[in-house]
Amino acid sequence: MTVLVTGGCGYIGAHVVHALHESGKRVVVVDDLSYGKPTRIEGARLYGMDISSPGAGERLGEIMSDEDVDSVIHFAARKQVGESVAKPLWYYQQNINGMLNVLTGMTKSNASRLVFSSSAATYGVPPVDVVPEDVVPMIPINPYGQTKLFGEWMARACEEPFGIRFCALRYFNVAGCGPVELEDPAILNLIPMLFDRLKKGKAPLVFGDDYPTPDGTCVRDYIHVSDLADAHLAALAYLDRDERRYDAFNVGTGEGTSVRQIVDEVKKVTGLPFVETVAPRRAGDPPHLIGSPKRINDEMGWHARYGVHDIVESAWKAWQANPEHHIDVDAWKQED
């Protein structure tokens, strides 16, 4: 099996490439290197390109044919909720065109299996505490979530006419690290943002403490990136089945953790006695988002192995292993 991974040099993509290599699969990566690093993909062949650009569908088809690709895992996309609110048209152009070109490439080659990196942002503000995949209505509240839901619709529409086997993995909040060299390279997610503020000698920020949640901060379902990588391997195996009841799966733990609880866990793991600062809410953030993993548990046999402590501890270990990021804890305490 040869698997093409779009966005394979990024944080999640590189962990999945690592897991694919560990399972003995041949991997080809397409990435524009806007966030990722080519050193992270363990010798997989890399094609540098922006998959949202004109003509990318034809080029992807050529790559898939030349490399004898039979499966695609599609990560490459813009993924910042707040940025999508500020730049909606750009997000539509980047993410929807990217999916269009991936599907076009598949129709011009023998690639017939697609695992799509979707998101819990497709749910918007759901009417239940723990969200199943078939919750209604699904109304994303930001352009990022809209592009992910539309991507699912696009792939689903191509199943019958083009013989594409498709499933979407709706991630909840991905965090943590596997091998330390695969740490999150972008300071865009909560835990790296907390570490980055500490590195700069600034108080970590909590965006809003007036949400309708137990402690006033947003509640999320945090999933370890290594668990998420395993879910992609399970999804590829699932697509080999002749009978598949579902094509959308939550990837989460079913447990909610507030931003304040993450901050407290960071204090415990790092040993740094910082005091966080409350900042205004970010646009497009729902107060509460937890996913039911029952469907993926039952259909794929996948279960999360790691909890919040493991997530923060592994992220801190990777952060401290990077000379550019390393925080001298003793010096930090003295300055404080």
CATH code of the domain containing 190: 3.90.25.10
Q: How far is CA 105 from CA 101, 110, 282, 325, in A?
A: 6, 9, 36, 39
| Nearest residue to 120 via CA among 87, 156, 144, 100 | 144
In a domain, 72, yes or no: yes
Cα gap 308→175, rounded to integer Å = 9
Cα gap 51→64, rounded to integer Å = 13
In a domain, 299, yes or no: no
In a domain, 295, yes or no: no
Q: What is the pTM of this model?
A: 0.94
pLDDT in tens, 244-290: 999 999 999 999 999 999 999 999 999 998 999 999 998 878 899 99
Chain centroid to Cα 187, Å, comes to 14
Same domain, 239 and 98: yes
Same domain, 9 and 143: yes
Cα gap 99→92, rounded to integer Å = 10
Same domain, 32 and 139: yes
Calculate helix-pair angle for 190-199, 259-270, nearest 10 degrees.
Answer: 50
Quote the number of domains for the chain. 2
Report phi then psi at 277, rounded to 5: -115, 135
In a domain, 210, yes or no: yes
Same domain, 127 and 207: no
Same domain, 102 and 25: yes
Same domain, 13 and 145: yes
Range of the domain at 310: 180-220+254-289+306-335
CA atoms within 13 A on the CB side of 219: 18
In a domain, 297, yes or no: no
In a domain, 48, yes or no: yes
Residues catalogued as catalytic: 144
In a domain, 296, yes or no: no
CA atoms within 13 A on the CB side of 230: 16
SS (H, E, C) the chain: CEEEEECCCCHHHHHHHHHHHHCCCEEEEEECCCCCCHHHCCCCEEEECCCCCCCHHHHHHHHHHHCCCCEEEECCCCCCHHHHHHCHHHHHHHHHHHHHHHHHHHHCCCCCEEEEEEEHHHHECCCCCEECCCCCCCECCCHHHHHHHHHHHHHHHCHHHHCCEEEEEEECEEECCCCHHHCCCCCCCHHHHHHHHHHCCCCCEEECCCCCCCCCCCEECEEEHHHHHHHHHHHHHHHCCCCCCCCEEEECCCCCEEHHHHHHHHHHHHCCCCCCEEECCCCCCCCEEEECCHHHHHHHCCCCCCCHHHHHHHHHHHHHHCCCCCCCHHHHHHHC
Same domain, 22 and 112: yes
pLDDT in tens, 156-195: 999 999 999 999 999 999 999 999 999 987 788 899 999 9
Tens place of pLDDT for every residue, the chain, 336 residues?
A: 899 999 999 999 999 999 999 999 999 999 999 988 899 998 899 999 999 999 999 999 999 999 999 999 999 999 998 899 999 999 999 999 999 999 999 999 999 999 999 999 999 989 998 999 998 889 999 999 999 999 999 999 999 999 999 999 999 999 999 999 999 877 888 999 999 999 998 999 999 999 999 999 999 999 999 999 999 999 999 999 999 999 999 999 999 999 999 999 999 999 998 999 999 998 878 899 999 999 999 999 999 999 999 999 999 999 999 988 888 887 777 665
In a domain, 33, yes or no: yes
Same domain, 195 and 129: no
Let me know: does 220 contact 263? Beta carbons within 8 Å: no
Same domain, 48 and 184: no
Same domain, 18 and 160: yes
Hey, what are 29's tokens? 């990566």
Torsion, CA 252, CA 195, CA 125, CA 310, rounded to 10: 20
| Nearest residue to 119 via CA among 83, 177, 78, 71 | 78
Same domain, 24 and 90: yes
Provide the pairing of β-strand 222-224 with 173-175: parallel
Same domain, 112 and 234: yes
